[in-house]
């Protein structure tokens, strides 16, 4: 039986990592997590986004490429916390439009992305988690990462705007499942994970 590859996408604070963990544990899949805790640029980026945006995005791109290369070579079912496509379609695009990444760096970044992504396996399914900015800020506050304390709500708003456009374009890559998380209450992660798991079972005809 061929292995499956599902990716979880969505804005900062939407719950991707927790939901990735839930799904991986319940289905016995191999998880690949976003490299946030050990990121050497994240604190500098939130303190001075214009200076550090290109450095941060190249770091994320290299780590995401490494993870997705491992997924491409794996024989296990895999679930990934954020896709490599979001790096260019959401974050680099938004940073450029907001003036935090200049045109030269943005074009250089996109060219590097285009070269790297050609060698990678595409996901079989992208699960896009949607939430409004107020809920994102509440969830970010609860997880208590020092680097995120000064995050600009307008930045989250623009990222949400970018996600809405990309969630349609992403259907050219693979099927996209959109899950609304705003109305699921304080224990939303379990509800989202259960919705995602049911879709995965139905879509791939799997019995667990």
Catalytic residues: 81
State the Cα–Cα distance between residues 26 and 65, nearest whole angstrom: 26
CB count in 10 Å sphere of residue 172: 8
């Amino acid at each position: 039986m061929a292995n499956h590859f599902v990716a979880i996408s969505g804005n900062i604070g939407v719950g991707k990592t927790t939901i990735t963990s839930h799904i991986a544990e319940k289905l016995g899949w191999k998880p690949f997590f976003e490299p946030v805790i050990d990121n050497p640029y994240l604190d500098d980026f939130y303190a001075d986004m214009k200076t550090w945006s290109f450095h941060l995005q190249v770091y994320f791109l290299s780590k995401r490429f490494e993870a997705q290369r491992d997924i491409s070579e794996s024989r296990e079912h895999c679930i990934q916390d954020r896709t490599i496509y979001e790096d260019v379609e959401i974050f680099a695009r938004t940073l450029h439009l907001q003036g935090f990444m200049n045109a030269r760096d943005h074009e250089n970044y996109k060219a590097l992305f285009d070269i790297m992504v050609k060698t990678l396996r595409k996901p079989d399914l992208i699960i896009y988690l949607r939430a409004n900015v107020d809920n994102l800020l509440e969830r970010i506050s609860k997880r208590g990462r020092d680097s995120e304390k000064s995050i600009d709500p307008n930045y989250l708003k623009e990222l949400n705007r970018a996600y809405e456009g990309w969630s349609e374009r992403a259907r050219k890559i693979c099927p996209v499942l959109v899950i609304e998380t705003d109305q699921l209450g304080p224990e939303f992660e379990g509800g989202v994970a259960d919705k995602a798991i049911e879709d995965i079972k139905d879509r791939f005809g799997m019995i667990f």
